[in-house]
Amino acid sequence: MLSTLQTLEAYSGDTTTFAVAVTDGGVAHDLTGRTLSWLVSATRDGATLLVKDVTVHSNAAAGLSALTLTPEDIETIGGPGSYILTGIEVDGTAEVTRAVSNLRIRGRPQRA
């Protein structure tokens, strides 16, 4: 299982990729044929602002994947602020929450 992650940071206007390693009892969890769905919300029980489904993994057999947020994703979320990021593994018949993290989106400082 993914442990609860630290606060992840992204910046408005940037594409940011977060590496993900899924383990179960310290052993790599095979993601072959599975989807990792990432849901972003303003609060733990709040409405979902963005869903990103990842079906192609860095190394599925080794439990390695990634989540990429584009500038368009960040705009959809609502721009700079603090959010909740929940990772759910979907295997066709079941959904298992694998991680809950804080996502902090920062604005870029204005250039003089």
Q: What is the pLDDT of residue 25?
A: 81
Rank 21-35, 44-58, 85-99 by mean pLDDT and report only the highest: 44-58
Helix, strand, coil abundance in the chain, percent, nearest 5? 10, 50, 40
CA distance 74 to 3: 24
d(CA 24, CA 68): 23
For the domain spanning 8-104, the CATH number is 2.60.40.3350
Rounded to two decimals, the pTM is 0.85
Each residue of 46-93: pLDDT tens digit? Answer: 999 999 999 999 999 999 999 999 999 999 999 999 999 998 888 777
Q: Which of 103, 102, 99, 101 is nearest to 1 (CA)?
A: 99
User: Would you say residue 1 has pLDDT above 50?
Assistant: no
Q: Which residue has the higher pLDDT, 3 or 15?
A: 15
CB under 8 A, 24+ apart: contacts of 24-33 = 28/61, 28/62, 28/63, 28/64, 29/1, 29/63, 30/60, 30/61, 30/63, 31/57, 31/60, 31/61, 31/63, 31/64, 31/65, 31/89, 32/60, 32/61, 33/60, 33/91, 33/92
Tell me the pLDDT band of 6, cut-offs 50, 70 and 90: confident
The mean pLDDT value for 6-22 works out to: 90
Q: Tell me: pLDDT of 3 over 60.
A: no
